[in-house]
Amino acid sequence: MTATSRDALTRLWPLFGLRLATPRLILRPICDDDLAELVDLVLAGIHPADRMPFLTPWTDAPRAELIANTLRYHWRIRAESEPDDWSVQFAVRSRGALLGLQEITARNFAVTRVVASGSWLGRVHQGQGYGTEMRAAVLDFAFDHLKATRATSAAFTDNPASQAVSRKLGYVPDGSDVVQRRPGEAAVDQRLLLIPETFNKPGWSVQVAGFEACRTSFGV
């Protein structure tokens, strides 16, 4: 989306004007002009074929199905997001290059003050600390601007990279579930919990722009 078209749509959909900035990253809600790049990143690979980090094994779909499913998912999430049941999918960029996606979601947030997060990075961008930085960005935003009192996450016990990010940020175990990850394959899904008092905030604060205009989109 060009700056001009984004500005025009932001007048109608203020969430497009939200911008989170960290020392290396820019996070903005995904718009249609991000989707071709996003699909290319998915097709290039997010994880080894013999591993599955997602509760729903969506990356196992055949190529044509994966492309269509990815587009439908982002259009649907945007269309269904409401102040009492919202999900914001951030495109994560560094120096203009798309690295991956960072999600933050909530239901009945005005009452519960609980957010959940999920994320992925293209394989070429993994192992460089981006996963920690982008999740820290949305956590800082959630605690400092949305006034969340809890943040939840989850990761399979055989996903050490995600578990390491959670430990680094201050999450603690909050129970687990045994789930079917792929047909016939059981896995332990570790639930995780973080509160503002135990958030290992990095040595920077996320820089937020455009929040006041879209505050009501978050039910606050």
184: containing domain: 3-218
Banded pLDDT at 18 (limits 50, 70, 90): very high
Residue 62: CB atoms within 10 A of its CB come to 8
pLDDT at 93 over 70: yes
The identity of residue 175, as a single letter, is G
Query: Looking up tokens 């290396």, which residue turns up?
Result: 24
Give CA–CA dist 115/145, Å, rounded: 12
- Look at residue 2 and give its three-state secondary structure: coil
3-state secondary structure of 103: strand
Q: Provide the percentage of residues in the chain whose pLDDT is more than 90.
A: 89
Residue 93 Cα to chain centre, angstroms: 13
Q: Are 14 and 210 contacting, i.e. CB atoms less than 8 angstroms apart?
A: yes
DSSP 8-state assignment for residue 82: B
- What is the pTM (predicted TM-score) of this model? 0.93
Give the chain's length.
220
Sole residue written with tokens 């984004």: 6
In the numeric block, the tokens 């993994």 are attached to: 126
Residue 7, pLDDT score: 78
Residues 6+ apart with CB under 8 A from 165: 131, 132, 135
Output the average pLDDT for the chain.
Answer: 94
pLDDT value of residue 8? 83
The CATH number for 106's domain is: 3.40.630.30
Q: Which two tokens stand for residue 45?
A: 């690979």
What percent of the chain stands above pLDDT 70? 98
The predicted-structure confidence for 160-172, as pLDDT tens digits, reads as follows 999 999 999 999 9
Q: How many domains does the chain have?
A: 1
Is residue 213 within 8 A of residue 14, CB to CB? The reply is yes
Contacts of 201 (CB under 8 A, 6+ apart): 136, 140
